[in-house]
């Protein structure tokens, strides 16, 4: 059994088509077919079955594919570790993060880190809370920014980087738009624009409303902070967003007002897989982040 056979097998499984797999591998279709046939002969099983014009993994093929993907990922990380050992300042860091951090925070952090390590490469993967956990456990990313921080998940470990306040956002012509502080119960009769199910900010806002004595009336749902912010600015409802997600990206902006009662916050953390060793370059980035947020907290005035 050769490494090339396993690589060709996984690519065909992903593409469900020999020709498309061959095109991506930059080899002849016949070479891919031959390697798959030899692999099936060696194993004594059929790994694929025909389904229309595509190929589909057989049940035993699915089982084998899961194991092979893990082997290839481990091999890829091993090769990366060797390169990092030779020159740890030229490695690659794979980072996952939620959309609400992608507008301003992630670019700022990466730019500052690359001033220290200009040759380090980054591979980014954006996702909602469940997919970020899944990507960390599957080894798809080395580190993931996540909110809220998972306190009771033994499969991932990490650190709380910061606690961030959520602000009420309102249409500019809303009667409360000019206030500096409001109580959340003042929005009990409003229509809310919330994140869809599966996004971590949704239960935070929902629970805050229940704590304030009412169940929010949902007018619209979305999956991106720009969408939430834009719908509120257009007068479609009100919402709560963390300060980090209020970074202005277009002229149409909602009013933002601090919520005094109850105080609504979210934790932002950095996680990695508990079982497993971070690559050297990822460990350097983690240490940088802990210092970055520690300094940021020290330099933030109390009550700001």
Quote the mean pLDDT of the chain. Answer: 89
- Co-location of 120 and 174 in the same domain: no
Residues 151-209 pLDDT 10s: 888 899 999 999 999 999 999 999 999 999 999 999 999 999 999 888 889 999 999 99
- Co-location of 191 and 252 in the same domain: yes
Pairing of strands 143-146, 156-170: unpaired
pLDDT band for 35, please (50, 70, 90 cuts): very high
Q: Is residue 303 part of a domain?
A: no
**Does residue 164 contact residue 170 with C-beta atoms inside 8 Å?**
no
Which one of 58, 84, 110 terminates a domain? Answer: 84
- Co-location of 157 and 290 in the same domain: yes
Provide the residue range defining the domain that includes 30: 3-84
- Co-location of 135 and 275 in the same domain: yes
Peptide bond into 262 cis (omega under 30): yes
Helix (H) or strand (E) holding 126: strand 121-126
**Does residue 169 contact residue 195 with C-beta atoms inside 8 Å?**
no
- Co-location of 287 and 258 in the same domain: no
- Co-location of 48 and 20 in the same domain: yes
**Does residue 166 contact residue 242 with C-beta atoms inside 8 Å?**
yes
Question: Among 146, 253, 259, 245, which residue's Cα sits nearest to residue 209?
Answer: 259
Q: Is residue 304 part of a domain?
A: no
- For residue 164, list its beta bridge partners: 266
* CA–CA dist 19, 198 (Å, integer): 36
Write the CATH number for 54.
1.10.10.10
pLDDT at residue 302, as a whole number: 43
The domain tally of the chain equals 3
Residue 88 has pLDDT above 70, yes or no: no
Residues 273-295 pLDDT 10s: 998 788 888 999 999 999 999 98
| Count of C-beta atoms within a 10 Å radius of residue 14 | 13
């Amino acid at each position: 059994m050769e490494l090339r056979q396993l690589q060709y097998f996984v690519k065909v499984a992903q593409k469900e088509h020999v020709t498309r797999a061959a095109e991506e591998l930059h080899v002849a279709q016949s070479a891919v077919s031959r390697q798959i046939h030899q692999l099936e002969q060696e194993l004594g099983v059929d790994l694929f079955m025909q389904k229309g014009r595509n190929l589909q993994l057989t049940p035993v093929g699915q089982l084998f594919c899961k194991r092979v993907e893990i082997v290839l990922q481990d091999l890829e990380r091993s090769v990366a570790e060797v390169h990092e050992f030779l020159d740890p300042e030229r490695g690659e860091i794979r980072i996952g993060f939620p959309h609400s951090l992608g507008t301003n925070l992630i670019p700022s952090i990466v730019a500052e880190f690359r001033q220290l390590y200009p040759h380090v490469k980054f591979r980014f993967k954006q996702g909602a809370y469940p997919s970020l956990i899944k990507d960390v456990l599957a080894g798809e990313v080395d580190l993931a920014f996540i909110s809220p921080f998972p306190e009771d998940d033994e499969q991932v470990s990490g650190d709380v980087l910061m606690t961030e306040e959520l602000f009420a956002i309102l249409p500019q012509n809303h009667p409360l738009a000019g206030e500096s502080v409001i109580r959340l119960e003042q929005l009990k009769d409003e229509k809310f624009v919330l994140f869809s199910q599966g996004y971590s900010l949704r239960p935070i806002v929902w629970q805050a409303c229940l704590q304030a004595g009412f169940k929010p009336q949902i007018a619209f749902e979305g999956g991106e902070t720009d969408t939430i912010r834009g719908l509120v600015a257009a007068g479609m409802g009100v919402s709560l967003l963390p300060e980090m997600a209020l970074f202005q990206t277009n002229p149409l902006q909602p009013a933002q007002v601090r919520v005094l009662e109850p105080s609504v916050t979210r934790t932002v953390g950095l996680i990695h897989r508990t079982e497993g060793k971070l690559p050297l370059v990822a460990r350097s980035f983690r240490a940088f982040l802990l210092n970055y947020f520690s300094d940021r907290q020290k330099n933030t005035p109390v009550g700001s």
